[in-house]
């Protein structure tokens, strides 16, 4: 197969095989929203043990301490915030039996544990794959580790392929579709129903909500539809939308869509008034968070300048019936099944409005750019991010014939686990489309809206906003040239550019459009 694109031609062509790149992409890849801090030990499931088996993870203290080779105890590692996890165990395990009934795919619940090195890079320690009790067989779970023997190393490679398939599915269905495309629709509908075209908040939001309903309609026709690309090429197959819905029910909160709150909720940052942006990152070199927090602050300053011009005091917010009806519809109609949740922000003051609007604009611009425009760079070459795992591990209830075949030709087992040629080329083609900037792309802070230019105060605020975004371009370039930042520089490492505000057309791996338009 013939693949040439940015990730391979400009970087290390064999990076996909290496643990260092597997780990780095959790912080600087196309899905930086899943990595989280381990805060409790031992790891335990919250699922019903009577249905899914023992709650405690098979990743034991002994396994972890063997892998970190006496550097510290697990208790010390947890206390010093050194352990991190990709945890798809509880979300995926309830669907394992149903997915395994489908042809050409399989599924596990998975946990992947990492250790934070002194240079802010992550080292993978262990992968746990779990199958619940099913079809008369007891629960099966196995822990895989980086190995110095051939059999162990090939099992580790195949286990990584399964985790990457889980992460690819979660990225596409949750980090991307659910949290940006899908959950932006209520904001668009409420804005058009409740705010007049002359309302200042409608005028502010309009460029950030353009084209999203159109692109979502196209996605429902050809991407997430029944027997569409997602259902044919990603591990959950026809369970995909059900899994997306479950993630919404279990995980989605409006207040956690704000970048600072998202980082805090995952243990990736803590509030610190003395730190830049008011947050201290748990991993100092976290490219998505480092660049994202600068962009977040720039957006928030622009929104604050705009809002305080039209809403100088609380009573102006409270007495605006259109605005109050807009926020009520978003909460009680657009997200009706979560309307009684206590975490919804109130809308009583200008600061409340600033927080709500900054979150909406961040989701449609920075969040979407971070999870969308790197898809071809990282996912176009399927061994780096397989979207589906088609076979179980060769050590799960193996027949003698299969185990012998694995020992004789382990590379065949890995290739059988990867997507088919048809699936790989289909995904490559669609990721090329999704990662493309059109020639008439509208980038954040690039061109002022005519209505904003009519007011000298808003025009000046926008010019400051645009200027700060141009400064961010230089900040990111400087970070990508800093050899101390190992997660964004080094031999063969692809620089982190997904949150650079501006871009040329095409597949560039950079650029933050105003809205979700692809």
Closest CA to 424 of 108, 160, 168: 168
Closest CA to 477 of 459, 464, 495, 463: 495
State the pairing for strand pair 109-116/122-131: antiparallel
Active site residue 372: yes
Taking a C-beta distance cutoff of 8 angstroms, is the pair 375, 171 a contact? no
Annotated catalytic residue, options 171, 256, 335, 368: 368
Taking a C-beta distance cutoff of 8 angstroms, is the pair 441, 503 a contact? yes
Annotated catalytic residue, options 31, 232, 290, 372: 372
Cis peptide before 42 (omega within 30 of 0): yes
Active site residue 437: no
Find all residues with CB under 8 Å of 296, minimum gap 6, and list them.
258, 259, 260, 277, 358, 362, 366
Annotated catalytic residue, options 162, 166, 171, 176: 176
Annotated catalytic residue, options 35, 388, 476, 518: 518
- Give the residues across from 141 on adjacent strands: 130
Annotated catalytic residue, options 166, 181, 206, 277: 181
DSSP string of 331-347?
IIIITGGGTT-TTSPP-
- Give the residues across from 37 on adjacent strands: 84
What is the number of other CB atoms lying within 10 angstroms of the CB of residue 357? 22
Active site residue 274: no
Active site residue 176: yes
Report the alpha-carbon distance of residue 402 to residue 298 in Å, rounded.
56
Tokens of 10: 């400009």
SS3 assignment, position 510: coil
Closest CA to 170 of 255, 210, 112: 112
What is the number of other CB atoms lying within 10 angstroms of the CB of residue 147? 13
Report the alpha-carbon distance of residue 300 to residue 308 in Å, rounded.
12
Angle at 331 between CA 326 and CA 333, to 5 degrees: 85
Angle at 359 between CA 356 and CA 360, to 5 degrees: 90
Active centre residues (catalytic): 176, 181, 368, 372, 518
């Amino acid at each position: 197969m013939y693949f040439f694109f940015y990730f391979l031609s400009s970087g290390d062509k064999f990076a996909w095989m290496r643990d260092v790149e597997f780990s780095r992409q959790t912080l600087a890849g196309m899905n930086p929203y899943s990595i989280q801090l381990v805060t409790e030990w031992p790891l335990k499931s919250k699922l019903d043990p009577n249905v899914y088996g023992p709650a405690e993870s098979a990743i034991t203290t002994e396994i972890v301490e063997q892998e970190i080779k006496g550097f510290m105890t697990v208790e010390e590692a947890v206390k010093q915030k050194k352990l991190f996890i990709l945890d798809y165990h509880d979300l995926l395990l309830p669907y394992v039996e149903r997915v395994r009934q489908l042809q050409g795919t399989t599924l596990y619940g998975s946990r992947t544990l990492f250790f934070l090195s002194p240079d802010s890079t992550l080292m993978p320690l262990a992968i746990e794959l779990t199958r619940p009790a099913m079809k008369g067989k007891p629960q099966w779970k196995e822990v895989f580790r980086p190995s110095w023997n051939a059999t162990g190393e090939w099992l580790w490679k195949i286990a990584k392929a399964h985790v990457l398939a889980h992460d690819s599915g979660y990225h596409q269905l949750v980090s991307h579709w659910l949290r940006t495309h899908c959950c932006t629709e209520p904001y668009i509908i409420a804005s058009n129903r409740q705010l007049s075209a002359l309302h200042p908040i409608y005028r502010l939001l309009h460029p950030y909500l353009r084209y999203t309903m159109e692109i979502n309609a196209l996605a429902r026709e050809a991407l997430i539809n029944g027997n569409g690309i997602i259902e044919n090429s990603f591990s959950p197959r026809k369970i995909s939308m059900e899994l997306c819905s479950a993630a919404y029910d279990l995980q989605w909160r409006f207040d956690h869509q704000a970048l600072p709150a998202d980082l805090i909720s995952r243990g990736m940052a803590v509030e610190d008034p003395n730190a830049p942006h008011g947050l201290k990152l748990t991993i100092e070199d976290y490219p998505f968070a480092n660049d994202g927090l600068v962009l977040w602050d720039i957006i928030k300053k622009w929104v604050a300048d705009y809002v305080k011009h039209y809403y100088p005091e609380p009573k102006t917010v409270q007495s605006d019936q259109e605005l109050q009806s807009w926020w009520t519809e978003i909460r009680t109609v657009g997200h009706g099944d979560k309307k009684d949740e206590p975490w919804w922000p109130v809308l009583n003051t200008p600061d409340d409005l600033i927080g709500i609007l900054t979150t909406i604009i961040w989701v449609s611009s920075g969040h979407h750019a971070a999870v969308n425009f790197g898809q071809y760079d990282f996912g176009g070459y399927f061994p780096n991010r397989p979207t589906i795992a088609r076979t179980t591990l060769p050590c799960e209830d193996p027949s003698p014939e299969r185990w012998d075949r694995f020992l004789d030709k382990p590379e065949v087992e890995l290739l059988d686990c990867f997507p088919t040629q048809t699936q790989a080329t289909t995904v490559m083609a669609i990721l090329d489309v999704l990662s493309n900037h059109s020639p008439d792309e509208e980038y954040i802070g690039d061109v002022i809206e005519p209505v904003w230019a009519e007011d000298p105060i808003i025009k000046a605020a926008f010019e400051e906003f645009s200027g700060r975004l141009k400064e961010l371009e230089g900040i990111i370039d400087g970070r990508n040239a800093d050899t101390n930042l190992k997660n964004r520089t080094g031999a063969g490492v692809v620089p982190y550019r997904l949150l650079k505000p501006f871009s040329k057309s095409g597949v560039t791996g950079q650029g933050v459009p105003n809205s979700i338009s692809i």
